[in-house]
């Protein structure tokens, strides 16, 4: 972060300086919301949640090196030499401060949202743009109303472009993030079942995702998946220039001749209005062409050639627990444990089915936030697994009982259900054999990385 003066902090947060320190030319050099990771010279922002109040940790943060803090209430005592700025709401102030800071850097801002594939697309876009520009990107799960502002505070004068992931669960969240960022480009990857419990319908999910356009001007760009029927419905309805990508031949950005090559990844040819070029994608699954296409649209807008795009695609590295391939002698784990919804479950099962393993195992857990559609959607995953010809399915969790029920009557030779992860661990030694490929996938709350660790522990080759 580049230094910000007290004068700027007051302007951005509409705050009031309280306490003994009155030097408005003093500066802060970072913004932190966690008193445990506060940095020397930083500004501590105490957030308030249902079960915690960061104001209780203000003194700890200041004693730990923070130069000052935001606060809603006046502290019982002031520490000498420390900065106190009183605001009406600390989270609101954090967002406004991030918006103010973002305006210091007149660079392109790329926003990415969608039901599935946001992180993969963000990583791919950043890898491709990185062939020409110094890129700041969202790290980890910093894609919400707290994480996105903290990402923006990492900007400095060396950055030439910024790639931001935007997550959501309810109406208004994307609008809030978009108001902070004012994106120059917005990518929507797809409209799926994720968060349908909160939003109620696919139409509402689309409406919530489209909040990203509310703070984009007419010169900005909407980049949409043309193979998604819900996104196709936006044709002619947006004020922004709109470009579609996909596998349909009528689309301006298209993937041709897509083929999987085992653990080597995916090969394809990308056709754009400007040129046609081959790409080698170092990740599993045909669906990986979609992040590449989205990245290609953005890259061409910012003057990157097909050759550079292909080089950036080769530099892409899958993020942790997102279809990571773990080789343990003659056994392979497909670690896709970070999260799950019906679309990503089906894509992962297809990757497993296309693998070269002699014994293909799917360990699948509950998918959350599906509401009343949960039983039907879990049942559909079991049916999908049955049609793909895998050898063994292990369903884990109460919701996944419906996966088990659907798969039990299929052609899968071995089908099991366990209510808990601890019970599921008992069968893992029986799954370990030469040539086995084991997919591990569930929603984040299931913490299926525990099962990945257990497979590694009991595998003789590890």
**pLDDT tens-digit series, residues 78-99:** 999 999 999 999 999 999 999 9
Written as one string, the DSSP assignment of 129-174 is HTTTS-EEE--TT--STTHHHHHHTT--TT--EEEEE---SSTTHH
Taking a C-beta distance cutoff of 8 angstroms, is the pair 419, 406 a contact?
Answer: no
The confidence score (pLDDT) of residue 264 equals 83
The CA radius of gyration of the chain, in Å to the nearest whole number, is: 24
How many CB atoms are closer than 10 A to CB 80?
A: 7
The confidence score (pLDDT) of residue 172 equals 95
Give residue for tokens 């879990």. 378
Provide the pLDDT confidence category of residue 197 given band limits of 50, 70 and 90: confident
Q: Which two tokens stand for residue 421?
A: 């992860």
How many CB atoms are closer than 10 A to CB 29?
A: 14
Answer with the residue of higher pLDDT: 195 or 279. 279
Strands 185-188 and 221-225: parallel
Rounded Cα distance, 227 and 56, in Å: 50
Write out the residue limits of the CATH 3.40.1190.10 domain(s) in the chain: 105-315
CB-count exposure of residue 172 (10 Å: 0-12, 13-18, 19+): exposed
- Which CATH number describes the domain made up of 324-458? 3.90.190.20
Model pLDDT for residues 111-166, shown as the tens digit of each residue: 999 999 999 999 999 999 999 999 999 998 899 999 999 999 999 999 999 999 99
- The answer to whether the Cα torsion of 389, 362, 342, 395 is positive or negative is positive
Write out the residue limits of the CATH 3.40.1390.10 domain(s) in the chain: 4-93
Closest CA to 95 of 141, 147, 155, 50: 147
How many CB atoms are closer than 10 A to CB 358?
A: 12
Provide the pLDDT confidence category of residue 301 given band limits of 50, 70 and 90: very high
pTM: 0.92
Q: Does residue 240 come out as left (phi exceeding 0), alpha (psi in the -120 to 50 range) or beta?
A: beta
The confidence score (pLDDT) of residue 394 equals 98
Rounded Cα distance, 206 and 189, in Å: 11
The confidence score (pLDDT) of residue 187 equals 98
For the 105-315 domain, the top CATH level (class) is alpha beta
The confidence score (pLDDT) of residue 423 equals 98
The SS3 call for residue 29 is: coil
pLDDT higher than 90, residue 262: no
Q: Which two tokens stand for residue 75?
A: 């502290």
Taking a C-beta distance cutoff of 8 angstroms, is the pair 254, 248 a contact?
Answer: yes
Closest CA to 385 of 398, 397, 375, 394: 394
Model pLDDT for residues 14-60, shown as the tens digit of each residue: 999 999 888 888 899 999 999 999 999 999 999 999 899 999 999 99
Rounded Cα distance, 106 and 155, in Å: 11
Q: Can you list the pairs that 382-388 forms with residues at least 24 positions away whose Cβ atoms lie under 8 Å?
A: 382/406, 382/407, 382/408, 382/410, 383/407, 383/410, 384/345, 384/346, 384/349, 385/349, 385/410, 385/412, 386/410, 386/411, 386/412, 388/349, 388/350, 388/352, 388/353
Sheet of 68-71, strands arranged across: 16-18, 83-86, 68-71, 43-44, 31-32
Mean pLDDT over each residue of the chain, to the nearest integer: 95
**pLDDT, average across residues 372-382:** 96
Answer with the residue of higher pLDDT: 212 or 249. 212
**pLDDT, average across residues 325-349:** 95
The confidence score (pLDDT) of residue 288 equals 96
pLDDT higher than 90, residue 100: yes
- Which CATH number describes the domain made up of 4-93? 3.40.1390.10
Model pLDDT for residues 219-259, shown as the tens digit of each residue: 999 999 999 999 999 999 999 999 999 999 899 999 999 99
How many CB atoms are closer than 10 A to CB 457?
A: 10
Provide the pLDDT confidence category of residue 183 given band limits of 50, 70 and 90: very high
The confidence score (pLDDT) of residue 462 equals 59
The SS3 call for residue 366 is: coil
Write out the residue limits of the CATH 3.90.190.20 domain(s) in the chain: 324-458
**pLDDT, average across residues 203-217:** 96
């Amino acid at each position: 972060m580049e230094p910000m003066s007290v004068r700027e902090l007051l302007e951005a947060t509409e705050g009031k300086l309280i306490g003994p320190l009155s030097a408005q030319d003093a500066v802060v050099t970072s913004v932190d919301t966690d008193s445990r990771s506060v940095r020397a010279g930083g500004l501590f922002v105490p957030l308030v949640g249902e079960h915690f109040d960061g104001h209780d940790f203000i003194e700890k943060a200041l004693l730990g090196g923070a130069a000052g803090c935001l606060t809603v209430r006046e502290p019982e005592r002031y520490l000498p030499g420390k900065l106190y700025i009183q605001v009406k709401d600390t989270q609101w102030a954090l967002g406004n401060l991030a918006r103010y800071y973002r305006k210091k850097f007149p660079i392109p801002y790329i926003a990415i949202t969608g039901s599935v594939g946001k992180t993969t697309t963000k990583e791919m876009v950043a890898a491709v743009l990185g062939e020409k520009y110094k890129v700041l990107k969202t790290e980890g799960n910093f894609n919400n109303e707290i994480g996105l502002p903290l990402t923006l505070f990492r900007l400095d004068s060396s950055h030439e472009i910024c790639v931001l992931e935007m997550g959501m669960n309810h109406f208004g969240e994307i609008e809030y993030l978009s108001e902070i960022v004012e994106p120059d480009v917005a990518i929507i990857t797809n409209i799926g079942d994720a968060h349908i419990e909160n939003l109620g319908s696919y139409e509402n999910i689309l409406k919530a995702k489209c909040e990203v356009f509310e703070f984009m001007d007419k010169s900005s760009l909407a980049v949409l998946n043309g193979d998604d029927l819900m996104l196709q419905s936006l044709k002619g309805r947006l004020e922004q220039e709109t470009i579609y990508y996909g596998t349909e031949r009528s689309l301006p950005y298209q993937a041709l001749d897509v083929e999987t090559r085992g653990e080597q990844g995916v090969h394809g040819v990308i056709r754009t209005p400007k040129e046609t070029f081959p790409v080698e994608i170092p990740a599993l699954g045909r669906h990986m062409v979609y992040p590449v296409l989205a990245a290609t649209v953005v890259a061409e807008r910012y003057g990157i050639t097909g050759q550079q795009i292909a080089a950036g695609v080769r530099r892409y590295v899958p993020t942790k627990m997102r279809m990571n391939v773990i080789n343990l002698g003659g056994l392979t784990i497909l670690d896709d444990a970070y999260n799950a919804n019906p679309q990503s479950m089906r894509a992962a099962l297809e990757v497993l089915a296309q693998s070269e393993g002699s014994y293909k195992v799917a360990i699948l857990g509950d998918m959350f936030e599906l509401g009343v559609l949960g039983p039907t959607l879990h049942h559909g995953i079991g049916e999908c697994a049955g049609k793909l010809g895998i050898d063994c399915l292990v369903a884990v969790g109460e919701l996944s009982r419906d996966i088990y029920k659907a798969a039990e009557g299929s052609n899968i030779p071995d089908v099991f259900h366990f209510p808990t992860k601890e019970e599921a661990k008992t069968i893992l030694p029986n799954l370990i054999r030469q040539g086995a490929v084991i997919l591990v996938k569930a929603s984040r709350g299931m913490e299926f990385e525990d099962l990945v660790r257990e497979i590694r522990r009991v595998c003789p080759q590890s």
